Structure 1
Amino acid sequence: MKRILLPAGGAILATGLLAAGLAGTAQAAPDWAHDTMAKGAPEAKNVIEFWTASNYAALKNATPYSWDVKATPSLKVGGGYSPDGKPGSVVPIGEEKKSASVVKNINLPKTIGKVFFVDQDGKPRWCSGSSIQGKYRNLVATAGHCVYDEGKNAEVASNWIFVPGYYQGKTPWGIYVGKTAYTHYDFAAFEDRDRDYAFVTVYNGVQIGGQGTVKEVSKAEYEKYEGLKDVKAVEITKEQYDKCVLNLGDCFSEGADAPADKVGPDYPGAVLEREEVNEKAYTDAKVGKGNGNKLGEPEVEHVTKTQYDAYKGLGTKKIVDGNYTITHYYVQKWVKPATAKKYFKNVYVIAEGFIKDVGRLGDNVGGQGFAWNQKTGQKVFVFGYPADAHPDGHKAYTGITPKWCYGTTTGKTYTHAATKVEEHVGLKCAMTPGADGSPWLIKYSNAKRLGYVNGVTSLFGDQDKNDRYDLSTSAYFDGETAAIYNQAANVWSGSFVK
């Protein structure tokens, strides 16, 4: 895809609220990368079809964007930060007129959600992101590596969408298809994670459902139809398959009959399973990757007295201060899964009247403010969807619901030569990959669920070398970040549903 490079000193469309926020800010003149994602209604509809086909199978099967745990960066501490101008900010949606609020509880913002895309290997992936203030209330902030494929000259990712409040296939406020993506040229061209951020304009959200009809059609009718359609692989019996083949029908088989087999961890396709053992076997087990080696820390289960008395398993039962607990111990078991040959028939269906426009992103969930050239050492909330395991294999998060970290950003920079990081902001945080792109919010109001995006999660680090992530980092948001944000924040997208 052809990338458009625009000089920030050229034609920033700074109008109204955004212009006021940027006024008086001394800025350099970086180049930004501007990429079209879904160009027009036909492409946007294809993106929706990809994610919603087969009862949202791609959404449900997506995995968090990650890197090999062996490559967990060893982040080094550097000097302080270097703002390139005066601090500035743009207020959140709904806060254009200030009002008093009382902070009590930690309330999750409606603006956060999951960013879904297809990576360079054709696999559905997801990161975290947030709706953010923009002139047309259509803007999403996330990490640059959640928009541009790394290792492939940073081409813009395909089938990119944002789903605020996503939960197990549910899209409570709609699906928002990416229209245009903006990032720093240094990230787009050189994968420089000192510029690991992106701002994406999205079309109006859509929901699938309503007063539509779904009907089965022939393959020829399916190929001619230009609306929402799907090919469903319906499982059939061996007898039905044989009859289908005999009549030259559209059917196929997958897999082969094979029993489960215990293998080594390096065997292609090996799957890690938990095997519970007693306390002595766990204590005697080795640390590392392999059959019979320890898998994570012992897990303490709080039970009732009835459950405690009835338990006959391998765990250790204890009563502490009147509380009944059972501690479970697990080791690794690497297996080649059993397989069974299955038979399918392709069924072609079309859907008419099923895509409904639900309006602009910012009107539906609001949008966080934006801030740059801020001092470090501020209190910050980070909201995201961690999911991957820690380097030691322990999986503390599921990625199903959003989690949060809170703390004070570091006054020193973090550096990492392999990813060209020379000036990252750090925060003590135990989130794992899946939280990539999570917004870092300063001046967050729990009552209003609004704050100012002053960073997005880029890297995860293990500073105490115990194979557990304990640090998140973000690019420092400066005047160049503000210039790129301002370019994206003034671009209209509109609806692709007639």
Structure 2
Amino acid sequence: MHSRARRLATTLTAAGLAAGSLSSAAGATAPSNVVARNATTPAEQAVLFWTPDRLRQVTGSAPPDGRRVTLPGTVGRVFFTLPRTDPRDPRNWRSCSATSVRSKHRDLVATSAHCVYDTRRNAFYDNWVFMPSYQNGKNPPYGVYAARTFNAHEGFAVTEDYDYDYAFVNVHNGVKVSWQKTGRSWRGQVRNAGRLGDNVGGQGFTWNRSAKLDVFAFGYPAGGPAMKHCSGRTRPMPEAKKYNAQEHIGLACSFTAGGGPFLSGYKSASRTGYLVGVGSVAWDTDGDGRDDRISSPYFNGETYKIYKAAANRWTGNIP
């Protein structure tokens, strides 16, 4: 077993600290291993790029998840376009899952690094927006939040190491869009919807926990339009050489890999828990051609450094 994987397998009772309180992020300065870049697409341009037609073309339609579990309003869809490409070409449109997470300024989204950074083009994505509680192409009830600052670990952005496949995105205040269609053209009018955390709250953040935790995983698998969930106990995963990943935790779940949160201590009454992972790699462990597990990088002190650097940033209203 690789040394990093061995270290994870033996860290089953490490002391965890719930870093959801604002004081834990106060006064943070960015450490050297944080890759922080401002979005290149102007915020309002990114919001208005995602017309109802484009959203439906990306996601299609599907029934919502069963209501055995109350779905969290913090979780939603991320939409973006590949950098240095023609954004009008649907072949360059992508989407992922993400969640609002607690921060000093209530403006932070957690997802996978591969949902913010293109390792082929060595650039962060364009037209990046977050839509909490997205459902079937409808106007998101809590507004649309455009990226201001991407925060990732240099281990992913520089060396493509999926043990660092997590990212935290500071977003502008949200906007609600009133769309009108004339012929084939859409026109949108925007109004301020306020801060993300004020509208949907945020999940707590924790790290250095046991690798064996009971969690709920939420997301929009296979790029679908409806939120789904899985639940189960995580365990250390074997090395995934394709992704240079040796410190992943996974659970039985047929999700595709796309940034959705792993939440421990999730309570349906409050729809909150603690973020302990994000969907990073999908696994076919029995070789039947179908994904049956989803894994996340193990959240450790390196993860906390990126979170802390992001959790203290202020973004403000769309300029």
Identify the TM-score tier after normalising by the shorter chain: 0.7 to 0.9
The residue aligned with 2:56 is: 60
The residue aligned with 1:177 is: 146
Matching residue within 193, 197, 200 for 2:169: 200
The residue aligned with 2:279 is: 457
1:30, CA displacement in angstroms?
5.4
The residue aligned with 2:7 is: none
1:118, CA displacement in angstroms?
0.5
The residue aligned with 2:247 is: 423
The one-character-per-residue Cα deviations of 1:148-181 (angstroms, maximum 9, x if unpaired) are 013222x100000000111222211100000000
Larger Rg, first or second structure (1 or 2): 1
The residue aligned with 2:13 is: none
The residue aligned with 1:35 is: 37
SS of 1:486's partner is helix
Match runs of 1:329-348 below 5 Å: none
In structure 1, list runs of 5 or more residues that go unmatched. 1-14, 24-28, 65-103, 215-229, 235-346, 389-398
Say if 1:108 and 1:449, in contact at 8 Å, map to a contact too. yes
Query: Is residue 22 of structure 2 the alignment partner of residue 18 of structure 1?
Result: yes
TM, length-normalised to structure 1: 0.54
Query: Is residue 79 of structure 2 the alignment partner of residue 116 of structure 1?
Result: yes
Query: Is residue 312 of structure 2 the alignment partner of residue 483 of structure 1?
Result: no
The residue aligned with 2:131 is: 163
Amino acid at match of 1:377: K
| Cα pair distance change 1:459/1:424, threshold 3 Å | same
Report how many residues are paired: 285
Matching residue within 391, 397, 406 for 2:231: 406
Matching residue within 198, 203, 212 for 1:363: 198
The one-character-per-residue Cα deviations of 1:355-402 (angstroms, maximum 9, x if unpaired) are 1001011111110000101111110100001126xxxxxxxxxx2211
Match runs of 1:50-129 below 5 Å: 50-52=49-51, 56-62=52-58, 106-120=69-83, 122=87, 123-129=92-98
| Distance in 1 (alpha carbons) for counterparts of 2:72 and 2:20 | 26
Say if 1:30 and 1:480, in contact at 8 Å, map to a contact too. no
SS of 2:280's partner is strand
1:417, CA displacement in angstroms?
1.5
The residue aligned with 2:290 is: 468
SS of 2:71's partner is coil
| Distance in 2 (alpha carbons) for counterparts of 1:105 and 1:140 | 26
| Distance in 1 (alpha carbons) for counterparts of 2:275 and 2:102 | 10
Amino acid at match of 1:34: A
| Cα pair distance change 1:367/1:38, threshold 3 Å | farther
| Cα pair distance change 1:16/1:129, threshold 3 Å | closer
SS of 1:48's partner is helix
The one-character-per-residue Cα deviations of 1:234-266 (angstroms, maximum 9, x if unpaired) are 5xxxxxxxxxxxxxxxxxxxxxxxxxxxxxxxx
| Distance in 1 (alpha carbons) for counterparts of 2:176 and 2:26 | 35
Identity between Structure 1 and Structure 2 (%)? 41
Say if 1:132 and 1:141, in contact at 8 Å, map to a contact too. yes
Cα RMSD of the aligned pairs, angstroms, is 2.6
SS of 1:440's partner is strand
Amino acid at match of 1:178: A
| Cα pair distance change 1:417/1:164, threshold 3 Å | same
| Distance in 2 (alpha carbons) for counterparts of 1:21 and 1:363 | 18
| Distance in 1 (alpha carbons) for counterparts of 2:37 and 2:315 | 14
SS of 1:190's partner is coil
| Distance in 1 (alpha carbons) for counterparts of 2:318 and 2:237 | 43
In structure 2, list runs of 5 or more residues that go unmatched. 1-18, 61-66
SS of 2:158's partner is helix
Amino acid at match of 2:133: G
The runs of 4+ residues in structure 1 deviating greater than 6 Å are: none
Amino acid at match of 2:43: A
| Distance in 2 (alpha carbons) for counterparts of 1:36 and 1:22 | 21
The residue aligned with 1:384 is: 219
The residue aligned with 1:45 is: 44
Match runs of 1:124-143 below 5 Å: 124-143=93-112
Amino acid at match of 2:291: Y
Say if 2:25 and 2:308, in contact at 8 Å, map to a contact too. no
The residue aligned with 2:5 is: none
The one-character-per-residue Cα deviations of 1:279-323 (angstroms, maximum 9, x if unpaired) are xxxxxxxxxxxxxxxxxxxxxxxxxxxxxxxxxxxxxxxxxxxxx
SS of 2:230's partner is strand
TM, length-normalised to structure 2: 0.83
| Cα pair distance change 1:146/1:384, threshold 3 Å | same
| Distance in 2 (alpha carbons) for counterparts of 1:408 and 1:16 | 22
